[in-house]
Structure 1
């Protein structure tokens, strides 16, 4: 399919629950868990427990109503502010935050995190900690100068960009532009964590095929350095699963800090 016919996450949206079921659940047919669940949880846990990244505010910019990548962060930040472009994703996320009936069950991700961290008997308390650390889920408009207008966010000690650049960028110029825009949320010397899927051209959610911007590790590194970041850690995991849901070749995790 020609990429010009693909939908864009931030323009057209998608069915948030189907995304979670197909890419992040514990269902037997969900074959990409090593990449979408274990890989980010392992790397985030290691990154935060090293003790270099912490503070008052973390801002999360991620595709979909994701929670699993924030479990490690909640121990090292007073507040996590989540930004979303989609009302549907906000509703899905708030359903879990409010412990409402029908919320997506993240228990498998909680258990994974605690097993990786070595506290497998405390996962119920972990979910409460995550919920209490997220005071706000804020709607944002990616094209506004202040994306959260009229709200002005406090400067962040760290931002996480999870698969969002993959979903919204048409080309390399878009990638640079949005990265520069997101970086404005950071304090001088603040940290950035980038999680993405490499060499992807599409991902499927239900009947919808959505656009993804294909880039490789070398490009991601060069753009970050070009925007004034120092890369502290970079991990790439090659794809081993077989699924026609999406055509990514590998997952990437980069931790970096902004030069003052």
Structure 2
């Protein structure tokens, strides 16, 4: 298929529930369990359990209505703000957050996280803690000149971005520009946690194929270093799934610290 025909995540209709059911559900036949659920949650748990990434405010700038990676994070940050580009994704998150009928069930991820923490009997408590920590779910425009213009969003102690840059960036220059805008929301000394898909060009939701920006590990590391970030951890988790719904090679997991010296 001609790549020019791929849809863009933040510009075209995106079926948020279909995305969740395809890539993040508890269905035993869901092919991406290790890639999107088990292994990323384990990386988050290990990184945060070390104790040096913590604080008052976490800003999560991720793709779709994803919240599963925040079950660990709510133990290390008092307040969480979610920024999303897509209104349908926001509505899907709010269904879950407000316990509305038809909300997507994240119980399978809650169970995995509490097992990692040795608190397998506290799934309900974990769910309540994350919901209590989420202060705002806000829409933002990734093409805006500055994300710091968002009303009521202070600089964060930590930013998590899970997959979003892969989906909204057109090329290397666009990636560098957008990661720079995101990092302006991060305090000096604050931390970034980044998940990405290595060497991907597309992912599929329903009958639609969506664009993904193709890059490698070194490109992302160099883009972060150019923004004054110090790389603390960088790892590629090899892909486990065999599906043709997407073509990534592996998951990139990076933690970094903002040590930029202002000129």
User: Is the pair's TM-score, using the shorter chain for normalization, greater than 0.5?
Assistant: yes
- The equivalent of 1:178 in structure 2 is 178
- Contact kept? 1:140, 1:148, Cα under 8 Å: no
What is the CA distance between 1:241 and its match in structure 2? 1.6
Per-residue deviation, residues 140-171 of structure 1 (Å, max 9, x unmatched): 01122343755141110000010011000111
- The equivalent of 1:37 in structure 2 is 37
- Contact kept? 1:139, 1:148, Cα under 8 Å: no
Return the alpha-carbon distance in structure 2 between the equivalents of residues 29 and 244 of structure 1.
Answer: 15
Return the alpha-carbon distance in structure 2 between the equivalents of residues 4 and 79 of structure 1.
Answer: 40
- Contact kept? 1:82, 1:136, Cα under 8 Å: yes
SS at match of 2:65: coil
Change (3 A) 1:180 1:150: closer
**TM-score for both structures, normalised by structure 2:** 0.96
- The equivalent of 1:116 in structure 2 is 116
- The equivalent of 2:83 in structure 1 is 83
Per-residue deviation, residues 15-34 of structure 1 (Å, max 9, x unmatched): 00000000000112211110
- Contact kept? 2:58, 2:77, Cα under 8 Å: yes
SS at match of 1:7: coil
- The equivalent of 1:95 in structure 2 is 95
Return the alpha-carbon distance in structure 2 between the equivalents of residues 155 and 231 of structure 1.
Answer: 20
Unaligned runs of 5+ in 1: none
Return the alpha-carbon distance in structure 1 between the equivalents of residues 146 and 222 of structure 2.
Answer: 26
Return the alpha-carbon distance in structure 2 between the equivalents of residues 166 and 196 of structure 1.
Answer: 7
- The equivalent of 2:151 in structure 1 is 151
- Counting matched residue pairs gives 260
Q: For the aligned residues, what is the CA RMSD?
A: 1.1
Unaligned runs of 5+ in 2: none
Return the alpha-carbon distance in structure 1 between the equivalents of residues 141 and 168 of structure 2.
Answer: 12
- The equivalent of 1:54 in structure 2 is 54
Return the alpha-carbon distance in structure 2 between the equivalents of residues 249 and 127 of structure 1.
Answer: 32
What is the CA distance between 1:13 and its match in structure 2? 3.6
Per-residue deviation, residues 81-139 of structure 1 (Å, max 9, x unmatched): 00011110000000000011100000000001111222111111100000000010011
Return the alpha-carbon distance in structure 1 between the equivalents of residues 13 and 225 of structure 2.
Answer: 31
Which segments of structure 1 move beyond 2 Å, counting only runs of 4 or more? 145-150
Return the alpha-carbon distance in structure 2 between the equivalents of residues 16 and 173 of structure 1.
Answer: 28
What is the CA distance between 1:64 and its match in structure 2? 0.2
SS at match of 1:8: coil
- The equivalent of 1:19 in structure 2 is 19
1:130 aligns with 2:130: yes
Per-residue deviation, residues 201-245 of structure 1 (Å, max 9, x unmatched): 000011110000011112111111121111111121111221011
- The equivalent of 2:249 in structure 1 is 249
Return the alpha-carbon distance in structure 1 between the equivalents of residues 148 and 257 of structure 2.
Answer: 23
- Contact kept? 1:83, 1:139, Cα under 8 Å: yes
